């Protein structure tokens, strides 16, 4: 029975734990290993970077051109002879080279990574290792031993025929089958290898062909005993150990009454380089040479499969470099490139050989960390990176401190696949900013719920902005020592009550919508309108009113000029203090000084609202004078006696006194918080303990019963 060769497929089924994949072997050569540019990428600790390779030797009948047969060979190491660390095993036997037969079981480096070679008939849906249909091998045309010396079955080839081959671009030579020596060679092959004709004549085929001797030996044997021609991939060794990727085609001939083979050699080096380059580009970011999302997907698939066999976990850690757009716009491309190089080196220093660092976008990276025992191990890993990044990176005379946040999800509890794990790292990364810059969070269900609420609020914000549904409310600022009203904090709220949406959320969302400049001017106009309504038919009070504004908003073109124009003396504004929120923006120091000096020359004061004391330190280090420092309610959320928060606030009190600035603590909601803060020297406070945020019409009644400074 003659089988249609189109239905015959050679396959390699690879598995590692729960990970399984079947590859069709339809090319001349394959590389296998942990290096991402291998044809078959195998990510496992026991796998070498270039662990093994497979080559196909194709035989085609000279009698019937429709009949062909493939033999696949598995070899240890790479194509250049460098062996793997842990070896290959075929059917339980360690070997360096093996001809694959249907049903062969292969282990790469150990028992965890296993493969099975087989031949399948797609038409009958049968595997050759299980059922053998009537299949006539082309080797059934083998010459009988008694007829081996009969050269009549081989085409006669003369020197005149060979002279014609001097005109083609391929290398051509003739090998005597009995001695394996090269007896004739064309000039193109000599030039390809860098040898002269006399240097090549007399060499054995094995002297130039780097393929395993076992493969060459069997190939010559088959060509000697069968009316077939062969084609295989190989590497030929030129002068000065130059290695050239080639495609070798051989056909038996009768040359000078000797059984020989005519070999044509096609230089495939450029094609091989192109294939390698395309594989590299498909899995790497070319600007940083880090893996991309494609490589991450491949490596995680392997890791998840192997992880099903062991007790350790896998951590997916997403990193975001804050202020990156401003950094890349401010510094030269050369400085930015060197900055990234240093940043990547800092990250890689903490990685193990099996961990993977991939770039997802210009300022976002993902670390795939394997063999994680517990969260403490990841904590230590992240803290080491943060500690290293606290030191300035000096590039071309510029000292740059990179600020990054992390989001962590751990398999299996935080996700079963790449989609779930990446989604949860996005959630934790976003939530980490609630705790300030240079922070990190591990995924929890509570965080996921809070993000769901936050996303609903973002949709709400879009509607609020489009319909201008804002309102100003006023938090009284009280001196705990004198119980005197020191002023108000104007707070931007929504007409629709929404407890989950904080003022900073509103400011940041408005900024994303590019409505922040309009909201600032509207807020100042509303403060003037409200103040005039309070003072109508009343004695004028010298009340300071604070209003939060993002630093990035103030640094926009013309914003300072418009604010200064609005608060001109003729408009009779009350004492306004802009509380500058240090958001994730980087602005040239001279520009900040220039803009804030304009405010200083007007009737406006300015202070700082800092999410954390550390950020305030950094800002003050730039020698920008402010009048007031305000801290986030988050800082005292869990305030108790002898807590870390108390010590941090105490440092803030000392710093405020040293710099001669007023310190105001936001978010005081209990008497215990007030007493603790008073005991460490805090005076100015605001929060629910003193009064909820007041709508404008309620402020006059509050003024009547309050002692005003």
Instruction: Output DSSP code: residue 572.
Output: -
Instruction: Output DSSP code: residue 86.
Output: S
Listed in sequence order, the residues at least 6 apart from 679 whose beta carbon sits closer than 8 Å to its beta carbon are: none
How many domains does the chain contain in total? 4
3-class SS string, 416-465: CCHHHHHHHHHHHHHHHHHHCCCCEEECCHHHHHHHHHHHHHHHHHHHHH
What is the extent of the structural domain holding 393?
287-443
Residue 280 lies in a domain: no
Residue 448 lies in a domain: no
From the list 462, 536, 527, the residue with the least C-alpha distance to 492 is: 527
Residue 228 near residue 61, CB atoms below 8 Å: yes
Residue 157 and residue 430: Cα distance in Å, rounded?
75
Q: Which CATH number covers residue 293?
A: 3.30.70.270
pLDDT of residue 211: 92
Q: Give me the average pLDDT of each 10-residue run along the chain (709 residues).
A: 74 88 92 90 89 95 86 92 93 94 93 93 85 56 45 79 86 94 95 94 94 93 90 93 93 92 93 87 90 89 74 89 87 92 93 89 93 90 93 88 93 88 92 85 87 71 73 89 87 73 80 82 91 76 84 81 81 82 63 66 60 54 66 77 72 80 86 88 88 89 77
Residues 683 and 545 in one domain: yes
Residues 438 and 489 in one domain: no
Residues 367 and 292 in one domain: yes
Residues 292 and 246 in one domain: no
Residues 122 and 70 in one domain: yes
Residue 58 and residue 28: Cα distance in Å, rounded?
8
Residue 450 lies in a domain: no
Residues 627 and 596 in one domain: yes
Domain final residue pick, 443, 476, 507: 443
Residues 300 and 389 in one domain: yes
Residue 165 near residue 172, CB atoms below 8 Å: yes
Residues 466 and 569 in one domain: yes
Domain final residue pick, 141, 166, 181: 141
Q: Are strands 126-127 and 113-121 parallel, antiparallel or unpaired?
A: antiparallel
Cα 130 vs. chain centroid, distance in angstroms? Answer: 44
pLDDT of residue 81: 82
Residue 607 near residue 580, CB atoms below 8 Å: yes
Residue 334 and residue 396: Cα distance in Å, rounded?
9
pLDDT of residue 706: 77
Residue 9 and residue 22: Cα distance in Å, rounded?
12
pLDDT of residue 145: 42
Residue 43 lies in a domain: yes
Residues 169 and 262 in one domain: yes
pLDDT of residue 498: 59
Residue 281 lies in a domain: no
Residues 241 and 306 in one domain: no
From the list 394, 389, 369, the residue with the least C-alpha distance to 379 is: 369
Residue 449 lies in a domain: no
Residue 572 lies in a domain: yes
Report if pTM > 0.85: no
Residues 622 and 649 in one domain: yes
Paired residues of 13 in beta bridges: 22, 116
Q: Which CATH number covers residue 263?
A: 3.30.450.20
Q: Which CATH number covers residue 106?
A: 2.60.200.20
- Tell me the helix, strand and coil percentages in the chain, rounded to 5: 35, 30, 35
Residue 124 lies in a domain: yes
Residues 393 and 461 in one domain: no
pLDDT of residue 141: 46
pLDDT of residue 147: 46
pLDDT of residue 119: 93
Domain final residue pick, 211, 244, 272: 272
């Amino acid at each position: 029975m003659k089988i249609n060769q189109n239905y015959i497929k050679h396959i390699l089924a690879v598995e590692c734990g729960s990970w399984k994949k079947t590859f069709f072997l339809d090319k001349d050569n394959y590389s296998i290993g942990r290096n991402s540019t291998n044809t078959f990428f195998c990510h496992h600790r026991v796998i070498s970077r270039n662990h093994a390779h497979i080559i196909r030797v194709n035989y085609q009948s000279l009698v019937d051109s429709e009949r062909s047969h493939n033999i696949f060979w598995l070899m240890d190491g790479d194509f250049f002879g460098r062996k793997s660390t842990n070896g290959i095993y075929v059917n339980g036997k360690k070997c360096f080279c093996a001809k694959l037969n249907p049903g062969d079981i292969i282990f790469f480096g150990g028992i965890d990574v296993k493969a099975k070679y087989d031949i399948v008939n797609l038409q009958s849906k049968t595997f050759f290792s299980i059922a053998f249909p009537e299949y006539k091998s082309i080797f059934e045309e083998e010459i009988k031993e008694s007829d081996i010396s009969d050269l009549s079955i081989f085409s006669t080839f003369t020197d005149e025929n060979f002279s014609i081959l001097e005109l083609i671009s391929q290398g051509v030579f003739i090998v005597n089958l009995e001695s394996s020596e090269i007896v004739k060679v064309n000039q193109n092959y000599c030039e390809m290898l860098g040898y002269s004709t006399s240097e090549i004549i007399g060499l054995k085929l094995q002297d130039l062909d780097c393929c395993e001797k076992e493969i060459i030996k069997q190939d010559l044997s088959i060509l000697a005993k069968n009316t077939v021609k062969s084609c295989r991939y190989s590497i030929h060794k030129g002068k000065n150990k130059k290695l050239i990727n080639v495609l070798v085609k051989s056909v038996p001939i009768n040359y000078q009454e000797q059984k020989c083979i005519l070999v044509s050699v096609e230089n495939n080096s450029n094609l091989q380089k192109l294939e390698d380059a395309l594989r590299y580009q498909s899995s790497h970011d070319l600007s940083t040479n880090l893996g991309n999302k494609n490589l991450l997907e491949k490596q995680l698939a392997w890791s998840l499969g192997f992880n099903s066999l062991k007790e350790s976990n896998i951590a997916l850690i997403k990193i975001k470099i804050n202020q990156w757009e401003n950094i890349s716009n401010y510094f030269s491309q050369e400085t930015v490139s060197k900055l990234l190089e240093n940043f990547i080196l800092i990250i890689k220093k903490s990685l193990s050989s099996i961990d993977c660092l991939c770039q997802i976008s210009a300022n976002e990276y993902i670390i795939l960390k394997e063999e994680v025992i517990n969260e403490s191990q990841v904590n230590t890993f992240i803290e080491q990176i943060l500690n290293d990044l606290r030191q300035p990176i000096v590039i071309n005379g510029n000292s740059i401190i990179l600020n990054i946040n992390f989001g962590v999800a751990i398999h299996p509890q935080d996700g079963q696949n790449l989609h779930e794990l990446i989604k949860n790292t996005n959630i934790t990364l976003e939530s980490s900013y609630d705790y300030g810059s240079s922070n990190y969070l591990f995924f929890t269900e509570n965080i996921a719920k809070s993000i769901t609420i936050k996303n609903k609020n973002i949709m709400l914000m879009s509607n609020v902005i489009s319909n201008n549904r804002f309102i100003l409310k006023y938090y009284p600022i009280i001196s705990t020592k004198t119980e005197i009203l020191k002023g108000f904090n104007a707070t931007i709220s929504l007409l629709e009550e929404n407890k989950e949406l904080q003022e900073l959320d509103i400011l940041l969302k408005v900024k994303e919508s590019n409505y922040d400049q309009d909201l600032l001017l509207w807020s100042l106009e509303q403060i003037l309108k409200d103040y005039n309504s309070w003072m109508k038919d009343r004695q004028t009070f010298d009340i300071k009113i604070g209003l939060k504004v993002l630093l990035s908003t103030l640094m926009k073109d013309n914003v300072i000029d418009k604010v200064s124009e609005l608060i001109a003396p003729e408009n009779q504004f009350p004492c306004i203090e802009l509380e500058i929120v240090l958001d994730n923006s980087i602005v040239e120091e001279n520009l900040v000084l220039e803009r804030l000096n304009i405010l200083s020359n007007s009737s406006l004061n300015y202070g700082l609202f800092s999410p954390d004391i550390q950020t305030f330190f950094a800002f003050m280090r730039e020698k920008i004078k402010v009048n007031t420092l305000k801290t986030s309610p988050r800082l005292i959320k869990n305030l108790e006696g002898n807590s870390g928060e108390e010590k941090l606030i105490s440092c803030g009190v000392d710093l405020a006194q040293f710099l001669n600035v007023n310190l105001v603590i936001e978010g005081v909601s209990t008497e215990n918080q007030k007493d603790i803060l008073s005991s460490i020297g805090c005076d100015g406070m605001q929060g629910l303990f003193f009064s909820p945020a007041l709508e404008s019409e309620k402020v006059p009644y509050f003024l009547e019963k309050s002692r005003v400074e």
